[in-house]
Chain A
Amino acid sequence: MIASLIEGVPHRALALLGALLVALVAAPLVAGDYLLTVLILILYFAYIGQAWNIMMGFAGQLSLGHALYVGLGAYTAASLYVHFGIGPWLGLLVAVPVAALAGAFIGFLAFRFRVAGVYFAILTIAVAEFARVGFDHLSWTSGSSGLFLPVAQFTHNDLWQLRGHPVMFYYILLAAAVLAFIFCRALLQSRVGYFWRAIREDEEAARSAGIDVFHYKMIAVVISAAMTSFAGVIYAFYYNNLFPEQVFHISRSIEIILGPIVGGIGTLFGPILGAVILTGLAETLTAALAAAGIDLPGAKQVFYGICLLLVITTLPDGVWPWVCKRIGLAERNK
């Protein structure tokens, strides 16, 4: 099984991967608090970018409302904790199906009724916005005033309740990102992965090759939504407060897609590289501005916008394929 996962990968690349992994595991030992939070953000976006990439990069469906699944995951787990004291790992068992169901709903509506391309993107935006306004009025989750998780002073890391030092979250997200990476690699090489790529390339031709397009698109959407909701649960327990205006906002959805697009849609490393570049540079920018005494809300977003613009105009396939060519690694899984 492991053999098939690393088949075709040059030894150089494997060695680099290994070194990277070691570095990441050891990072908290040397990183300061601020750097740690930046790394956490990078891992969060790397993970969530992988999840989004399944829908877009693999199956070719542009979702601009992925914040919906983050929000559903976050609010489900958080409200179960606040109202019933149910820990996050148990809450996951409810949160993931909720998000998966939402994804299935959107997928069913869209694919049954042949809503595709830009129209599909607009549909996803609309549903996320609907949720944003809806949750503003949902009293069970405290509506627009926000849902707050009790944050007691912790003396030790409580993995079960996800209460603890950021380092705990770091390792959870690292594990999640690594597992997501491996999972995506396995998916791409599997029968499902081949069918997804065929659908992405040419839906009609895929259909006449015997592929049940509706079925496989649904699988992509549901897996993507389910994976994303896990990140939502972590989000809730890391930040300890949720506001519909923020969680479901379209800016969140756009942040999710920036990593994979800048890094390289449909590739395995794209989301990771994208997260590193964008979050790394953005935080550097903010830190530099802060150091110069300038506080510009919106500067980070302008930076994101410019990055997106540059990538779309000059490197439409993303940075990773370009890097690959430069360092001579053939990207097999485009």
Chain B
Amino acid sequence: MNALLSINGVSKRFRGLVAVDRVSFEVPEGGVFAVIGPNGAGKTTLFNMIAGVFPPDGGSIIFAGERIDGLPPDRICRRGIGRTFQIVRPFPALSVEDNVIVGALLHRKRVGAARAHAHDVLRRLDLYDKRAQRASALTLPDRKRLEVARALASDPKLLLLDEVMAGLRPTEMDRIVAILRELNRETGLTILLIEHVMRAVMALASRILVLHHGAAIAEGLPEQVMRDRAVIDSYLGVEAIA
């Protein structure tokens, strides 16, 4: 399988603190790749570099054969990478529908076409019935799904999900996991996610990368990574595999 996204020796320093230390990995096209690790491990910093929020200090990021490190967030989105935020940021005064239309308008000129596509996405994410509600009036799980919908509407090839399961009840989480798996299976959408909830990671990921203090300490198939000594010591704890 081809690598859709290739991270090569990427580093980021914040005034003396090394947040990400020469991390390299590849996300295969059509795969679901999870990045896990304790808080402060550099996961969101890594994400932000991929999404273009700030450039890496070293290394390169290659997406679909082209270098994207250093590009601004809007250019990166137009290249085909959609993202959600750890603390959800829907457009509060706009309706659910309008939120998603904004995403759909990226590659569509006409509002009518965008609306139709937005409706499709909303149906997939189980938000169609709430499409007329203001985004600010939604519950947290709904807002999370709205963010995913908005990102999806821009027809990304790669979807970046930043701790989308946080704060969700198990039933809610299962719902999103099911939707993501279906998306991945039916459309071949590549997904790169940061997660703490191991249940979701195990249900979704085909490969896992573990970060600790900014460095990659393990990478590979879920079963291997979960049994890795270093990973257990630094993050999972022995109970996780008991």
* Total A-B residue contacts, Cβ distance less than 8 Å: 70
In the assembled complex, A198 has its CB within 8 A of some CB on chain B: yes
Interface locus among A39-47, A199-207, A295-303: A199-207
Q: Is A293 an interface residue (CB 8 A)?
A: no
Q: Is B150 an interface residue (CB 8 A)?
A: yes
Q: Is A209's CB within 8 Å of the partner chain B?
A: yes
A137 sits at the interface (CB 8 A): no
A330 to chain B, nearest CB (A): 10
Q: Is the CB of A190 within 8 A of B111?
A: yes
Partner of B98, one of A190, A194, A213: A194
The answer to whether A210 and B154 have CB atoms under 8 Å apart is yes
Are B77 and A209 interface neighbours, CB within 8 A?
A: yes
Interface contact B74-A213, CB-CB below 8 Å = yes
Give the chain A neighbours of B178 by CB distance below 8 A: none
Asked if A158 CB lies within 8 Å of chain B CBs, one says no
Is B51 on the interface with A (CB-CB < 8 A)?
yes
Residues in B whose Cβ lies below 8 Å from that of A202: 89, 91-92
Given the contacts A209-B77, A210-B106, A201 and B111 also touching, CB distance less than 8 Å: no
CB neighbors of A among B70-123 (8 A) = 72-74, 77-78, 83, 85, 89-94, 98, 101-103, 105-106, 109-111, 114
Q: Which residue of A lies closest to B160 (CB)?
A: A208
Say how far A176's CB is from chain B's closest CB, in angstroms: 26
CB distance from B47 to the nearest CB of A (A): 11
Min Cβ gap B224→A in Å is: 33
Residue of A whose beta carbon sits closest to that of B78 = A210
Are B94 and A197 in contact (CB-based, < 8 A)?
A: yes
- Is the pair B73, A201 in contact by a Cβ cutoff of 8 Å? no
Q: Which residues of B contact A (CB under 8 A)?
A: 51-53, 72-74, 77-78, 83, 85, 89-94, 98, 101-103, 105-106, 109-111, 114, 150-151, 154
Interface residues of A (CB under 8 A from B): 189-191, 194-195, 197-198, 201-202, 204-213, 334
Contacts A208-B52, A210-B77 known; 4 new A-B pairs at CB < 8 A: A205-B90, A208-B85, A209-B150, A212-B74
